[in-house]
């Protein structure tokens, strides 16, 4: 046989075999697919015709339904096991972080997360558990993920009575509240059931109930039973009565509609319906239900339904945004311990309001008053234009912020002046100029000229620049400490010129002033801007004898399980000046409060404790400052208008800011913050110095009547004798030697504002 024919026959055989295999496979698949129908046909083959075909149709339909059911179970079971529907997600509920005062017990606010407070099932009243189950899922403990009986009844009524009736179990409702999907569609309902089965497989019934109670929405942004109990009834969930429990369970289906804050009678009607169901399911007796109905509903009064903001909370939020990760902020549930003393905070707020309300009555006050704002403009959400104040109070030892006020009312103005209010600080800055000079070798008992500044005298100043003294008077020579105590401008400029502008700016940076500081002689008089926060921080250098402490407001953060997630940064301090230099300034600032520009503190304000401080008033009475300290606390106060206009006539720091400081410090003493001696712990040594050079006095100094005895810190003792009056100096005529200035009498701040420069 030819090779061609053999090949063709072989190929034909292979093709026939392939067709046979395919036909066999199709036949097998057909027999498998239709085996149930073939079996039904075989079983019913000998049945009477009148029975056979209805039976075949019914049994075939059952098989098709079973097949579809299995396919649906597999399909939705697979979807439900996606990581998108992780069962652990029902435990992940954003909750409010609670902010506590320094005692860790007093609550001062809530922030972040949802308005929810997490509780365990054991921390919820048994009455509420029964009321919830009776109202939402009476057979909760008897069925699985779905309630077949309720589902069948709902389907029947929906079909026969065209009445929409739900059949969701508590587990299904928990799914609906925990995951994102379209729960209104058939696809969504089937997926909900599948996820519910997965939840039931992973959690016990009590755990499911606990997570559900913590997730429920109760209207007005309230989530969870604990937040609902505290918001509506001002009590924890563990103390809810039967009547209150039934009311809360009753309003779940329409929380905004049935809210007792919206319509109390509707809420009571829902309570009575819930009580009826509880009696029906034998959770309570008829007598208990009647007693509950007769109980008067006591909800939170209207006056306590508004949560007021505060400037302290604003500062806390600012720090939390730096400390926490985004996930921690979103989930909340943290316990945040702060440094705020709530009683001192309240005293500071009241002191500012009282003094500024009084200032608004001054005949020279030509601005909006707070009363006018509240009556005419508050509802328009316009920014207030009345006089404002700010305060920051720190613990000298640690830097803890004990009180922070950024304005008169945080609900009316969100602008936090304590943190962000950059205002010209004026004479409040002068102590740092003098501290720089003491660091360089000047001494408080030295003489400085107080006459008018002459053209070309001050390095870097325009020839025409000649700042005035606030009282319009000028002296020949004055002791350095007296110049600071009386806040003399011309003397202070000369002190600054002795140091040099670069050195003064370096000191300002070292004590914590971070803003722009012009390299101009006017800086010696505080013509740059800073916030009360910066001023308070800088002034800690004086009671701490050369060290500055960094302010902080958050001392510890714990998560919902009590684990410390932020232990606090603790005290951070740094050396900003020689101990002796800071001590010398501090000694003079104590004189300021007894016979200087803040002497009203002792007389009119009746504050007798040991303290130091400095007033500050900028041109045209735009800013009034007082920064002061005791052995325990440092406090900076600012008063002014947001638009930087004049406050009142003679609106000095001593008249506007000082009274606020005095009230706060009196309260601080009552709260246990002592105002003890500010005696330095550095050794002091008595030496004889020259008032002209601050160097060791020589016979020449004695001859010129410039020698004097001074007790000074050991780190400031000069190493050289006076080079202006060497030992062989010739005695000059006594009439040519200026007499030492007499001790100044107590003075008030200046009698008229400066016109030549913007600060006094």
The answer to whether residue 731 scores a pLDDT higher than 60 is: no
Predicted pLDDT of residue 10: 59
For 27-49, the pLDDT digits (tens) are 555 555 566 766 766 777 777 77
Structure confidence at residue 361 as a pLDDT band (50, 70, 90): very high
Radius of gyration of the chain from its Cα atoms, rounded to whole angstroms: 41
Predicted pLDDT of residue 157: 62
Q: What would the mean pLDDT of 292-296 be, rounded to a whole number? A: 94
Asked if 565 contacts 349 with a C-beta cutoff of 8 angstroms, the reply is: no
**Whole-Å CA distances, 333 to 227, 230, 305, 556:** 13, 16, 22, 14
Asked if 557 contacts 316 with a C-beta cutoff of 8 angstroms, the reply is: no
The gap from C-alpha 629 to its chain's centroid, in whole angstroms, comes to 25
Asked if 698 contacts 690 with a C-beta cutoff of 8 angstroms, the reply is: yes
Q: Which helix (H) or strand (E) holds 75?
A: helix 49-80
For 52-104, the pLDDT digits (tens) are 777 777 776 776 777 676 776 677 666 767 777 777 888 887 788 899 999 99
Q: Which residue has the higher pLDDT, 734 or 86?
A: 86
Structure confidence at residue 324 as a pLDDT band (50, 70, 90): confident
The answer to whether residue 562 scores a pLDDT higher than 60 is: yes
Structure confidence at residue 238 as a pLDDT band (50, 70, 90): very high
Task: Name every residue whose Cβ is closer than 8 Å to that of residue 533 and which is 6 or more positions away in sequence.
Answer: 392, 404, 418, 419, 551, 636
CA–CA distance, 707 with 447 (Å, rounded to integer): 11
* β-bridge mates for residue 449, sequence order: 477
The least confident of 58-62, 132-136, 223-227 is 58-62
The least confident of 491-505, 692-706, 726-740 is 726-740
Q: Considering Cα of 109, then 113, then 116, then 119, what sign does the dihedral take? A: negative
Q: Which helix (H) or strand (E) holds 640?
A: strand 633-640
Place of tokens 């509780």: 119
For 371-413, the pLDDT digits (tens) are 999 988 877 778 899 999 999 999 999 999 999 999 999 989 9
The least confident of 224-238, 244-258, 373-387 is 373-387
Which of 406, 387, 312 minimizes the C-alpha distance to 636?
Answer: 406
Task: Name every residue whose Cβ is closer than 8 Å to that of residue 752 and which is 6 or more positions away in sequence.
Answer: 470, 471, 472
Structure confidence at residue 198 as a pLDDT band (50, 70, 90): confident
* β-bridge mates for residue 424, sequence order: 529
Record the tokens describing residue 50, joined without a space.
Answer: 């009148």
CA–CA distance, 140 with 162 (Å, rounded to integer): 26
E strand intervals along 480-571:
529-530, 547-549, 554-558, 564-566
Predicted pLDDT of residue 527: 95
CA–CA distance, 656 with 685 (Å, rounded to integer): 40
CA–CA distance, 293 with 273 (Å, rounded to integer): 10
The answer to whether residue 759 scores a pLDDT higher than 70 is: no
CA distance from start to end of the chain: 129
Q: Is 393 helix (H, G, I), strand (E, B) or coil?
A: strand
Asked if 526 contacts 424 with a C-beta cutoff of 8 angstroms, the reply is: yes
Which of 403, 333, 442, 356 minimizes the C-alpha distance to 642?
Answer: 356
Q: What would the mean pLDDT of 284-292 be, rounded to a whole number? A: 95
* β-bridge mates for residue 638, sequence order: 390, 625
A 10 A CB-CB count for 520 gives: 15
Q: What would the mean pLDDT of 594-602 be, rounded to a whole number? A: 91
Predicted pLDDT of residue 2: 59
Which of 586, 508, 486, 515 minimizes the C-alpha distance to 544?
Answer: 586
The least confident of 146-155, 358-367, 485-494 is 146-155
The answer to whether residue 160 scores a pLDDT higher than 80 is: no
Backbone dihedral angles phi then psi of residue 208, each to the nearest 5 degrees? -60, -45
Predicted pLDDT of residue 734: 36
Q: Is 274 helix (H, G, I), strand (E, B) or coil?
A: helix
Rounded to the nearest 10 degrees, what angle do helices 264-280 and 242-250 cross at? Answer: 100
Q: What is the mean pLDDT of the chain?
A: 86
A 10 A CB-CB count for 364 gives: 12
Asked if 384 contacts 413 with a C-beta cutoff of 8 angstroms, the reply is: yes
């Amino acid at each position: 046989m030819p090779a061609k024919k053999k090949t063709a026959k072989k190929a034909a055989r292979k093709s026939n075999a392939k067709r046979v295999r395919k036909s066999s496979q199709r036949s097998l698949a057909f027999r498998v697919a239709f085996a149930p129908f073939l079996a039904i046909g075989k079983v019913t083959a000998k049945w009477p015709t009148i029975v056979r075909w209805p039976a075949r149709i019914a049994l075939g339909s059952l098989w098709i339904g079973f097949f579809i059911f299995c396919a649906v179970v597999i399909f939705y079971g697979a979807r439900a096991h996606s990581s998108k529907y992780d069962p652990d997600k029902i435990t992940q509920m954003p909750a409010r972080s609670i902010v506590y005062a320094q005692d860790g017990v007093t609550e001062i606010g809530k922030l972040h997360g949802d308005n929810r407070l997490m509780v365990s099932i054991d921390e919820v009243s048994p009455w509420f558990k029964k009321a919830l189950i009776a109202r939402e899922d009476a057979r909760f403990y008897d069925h699985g993920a779905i309630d077949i009986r309720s589902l069948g009844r709902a389907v029947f009524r929906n079909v026969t009575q065209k009445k929409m009736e739900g059949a969701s179990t508590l587990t299904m409702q928990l799914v609906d509240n925990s995951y994102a999907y379209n729960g209104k569609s058939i696809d969504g309902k089937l997926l909900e059931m599948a996820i519910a089965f997965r939840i039931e497989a992973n959690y016990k019934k009590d755990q499911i109930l606990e997570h559900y109670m913590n997730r429920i929405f109760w209207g007005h942004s309230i989530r969870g039973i604990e937040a609902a109990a505290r918001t509506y009834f001002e009590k924890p969930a563990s103390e809810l009565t039967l009547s209150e429990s039934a009311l809360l369970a009753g309003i779940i289906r329409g929380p905004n509609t049935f809210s007792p804050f919206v319509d109390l009678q509707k809420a009571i009607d829902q309570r009575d319906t819930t009580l009826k169901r509880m009696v029906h399911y034998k959770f309570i007796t008829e007598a208990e239900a009647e007693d509950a109905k007769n109980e008067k509903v006591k909800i939170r009064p209207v006056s306590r339904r508004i949560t007021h903001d505060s400037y302290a909370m604003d500062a806390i939020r600012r720090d939390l945004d730096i400390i926490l990760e985004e996930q921690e902020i979103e989930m909340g549930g943290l316990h945040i311990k702060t440094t705020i003393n709530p009683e001192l905070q309240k005293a500071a707020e009241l002191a500012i309001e009282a003094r500024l309300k009084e200032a608004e009555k001054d005949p020279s006050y030509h601005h909006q008053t707070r009363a006018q704002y509240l009556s005419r403009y508050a509802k328009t959400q316009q920014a207030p234009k009345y006089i404002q104040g700010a305060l920051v109070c720190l613990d000298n030892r640690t830097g803890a912020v004990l009180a922070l006020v950024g304005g008169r009312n945080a609900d009316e103005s969100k602008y936090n002046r304590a943190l962000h209010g950059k205002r010209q600080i004026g004479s409040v800055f002068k102590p740092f100029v003098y501290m720089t000079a003491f660091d360089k070798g000047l001494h408080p008992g030295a003489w400085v000229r107080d006459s008018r500044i002459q053209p070309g005298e001050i390095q870097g100043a325009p020839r025409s620049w000649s700042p005035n003294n606030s009282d319009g008077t000028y002296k020949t020579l004055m002791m350095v400490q007296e110049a600071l105590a009386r806040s003399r401008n011309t003397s202070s400029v000369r002190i600054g010129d002795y140091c040099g502008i670069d050195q003064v700016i370096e000191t300002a940076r070292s004590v914590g002033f971070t803003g722009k500081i012009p390299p101009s002689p006017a800086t010696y008089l505080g013509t740059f801007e800073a916030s009360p926060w910066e001023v308070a921080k800088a002034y800690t250098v004086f009671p701490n004898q050369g060290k500055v402490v960094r302010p902080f407001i958050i001392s510890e953060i714990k998560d919902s399980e009590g684990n410390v997630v932020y232990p606090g940064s603790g005290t951070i301090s740094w050396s900003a000046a020689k101990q002796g230099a800071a001590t010398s300034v501090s000694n003079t600032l104590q004189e300021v409060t007894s016979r200087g520009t803040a002497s009203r503190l002792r007389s009119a304000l009746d504050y007798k404790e040991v303290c130091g401080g400095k007033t500050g008033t900028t041109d045209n009475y735009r800013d009034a400052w007082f920064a002061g300290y005791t052995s325990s606390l440092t406090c900076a106060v600012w008063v002014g208008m947001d638009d930087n206009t004049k406050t009142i006539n003679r609106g000095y720091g001593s008249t506007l800011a000082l009274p606020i400081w005095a009230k706060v410090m009196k309260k601080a003493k009552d709260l246990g913050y002592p105002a003890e001696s500010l005696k330095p712990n550095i050794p002091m040594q008595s030496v004889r110095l020259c008032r002209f050079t601050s160097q060791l006095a020589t016979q020449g100094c004695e001859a010129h009547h410039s020698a004097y005895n001074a007790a000074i810190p050991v780190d400031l003792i000069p190493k050289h004798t006076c080079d202006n009056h060497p030992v062989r100096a010739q005695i000059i005529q006594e009439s040519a030697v200026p007499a030492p200035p007499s001790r100044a009498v107590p003075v008030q701040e200046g009698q008229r504002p400066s016109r030549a420069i913007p600060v006094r």
